[in-house]
Amino acid sequence: MTAASKPASLPLTERQEARRRRILHASAQLASRGGFEAVQMREVAESSGVALGTLYRYFPSKVHLLVATMQDQLQRLHETLRKRPPTEEEPSARVAQTLMRAFRAMQREPHLAEAMVRALTFADRSVSPEVDTVSRLTTAIILDAMGLPGSPTPAQLSAVRVIEHTWHSALITWLSGRASIAQVKIDIETVCRLIDLTNPN
């Protein structure tokens, strides 16, 4: 609910909506093949059948485009996860399980993951709103995974923030070949223990 669809800032027509989708699809396609550097604006424009200028009207920069692509992918992931919630009991284990699932999804499309995550962390202030949307989506996924009865406490929100930080940074170290899959798993499990800390407190 928080940041689902376009907030009606612009009531896109059908044709425009279709264009937007074609662009995002082309972006993901190219990213899947060759990662960040393979997503070239002229290529995206051509393979989505749109003029370069139009592409820039929809996404003011390559980073905007890739961050939007990430929003898109995250939304799908979120839905998938909703259908099959984690099976663990403890909130910390549930979150770890969920993140490991997401991680496995990324392992299936490492180039796409690389493109999106690189864009996300390279984004400067001009992309803040979009990056923030991604962040809220991620937070929503984690909170969902925790399966809390009520609304989260401030301490829990802090823990979630830190988990997100770790998640992004661990992904980067994996994508750049500086950490193994096993290492990422350990890191995720390590941070998730922070959640336990917020319970009896």
Binding site for DNA (CB under 7 A): 10, 13, 15-16, 19, 37, 39-42, 49-54, 56-58, 60-63
The answer to whether the beta carbons of residues 72 and 137 sit under 8 Å apart is: no
Query: In this structure, what token pair is assigned to residue 57?
Result: 């009207």
Q: What is the contact mask toward a second copy in residues 60 to 99, using x (rule: CB under 8 A)?
A: ----------------------------------------
Q: Which is nearer to DNA, 40 or 80 (CB)?
A: 40
Question: Whole-number minimum distance, CB 92 to a second copy, in Å?
Answer: 12
| Binding test (CB under 8 A) with a second copy, winner from 137, 166, 174, 195 | 166
Residue 187 binds a second copy (CB under 8 A): yes
Question: Among DNA, a second copy, none, what binds residue 162 when CB lies within 5 to 8 Å by partner kind?
Answer: a second copy
Query: In this structure, what token pair is assigned to residue 84?
Result: 């099959």
User: 3-class SS at 9?
Assistant: coil
> C-alpha 21: how far from its chain's center?
17
Geometric angle at alpha carbon 194, from 193 and 198, rounded to 5° = 120
| Binding test (CB under 8 A) with a second copy, winner from 176, 180, 181, 199 | 176
Side chain identity, residue 158: S
Q: Which is nearer to a second copy, 20 or 118 (CB)?
A: 118
Q: Which is nearer to DNA, 122 or 181 (CB)?
A: 122
| Binding test (CB under 8 A) with a second copy, winner from 29, 32, 47, 135 | 135
Half-sphere exposure at residue 72, Cβ-oriented, CA atoms within 13 angstroms: 19
Eight-class DSSP state of 85: -
Burial group, residue 73, by CB count within 10 angstroms (0-12, 13-18, 19+): buried
Q: How far apart are CA 122 and CA 171, in angstroms?
A: 14
**Chain residues in the site for a second copy (CB under 8 A):** 36, 118, 121-125, 127-128, 131-132, 135, 158-159, 161-162, 164-166, 168-170, 172-173, 176-178, 183, 186-187, 190-191, 193-194, 197
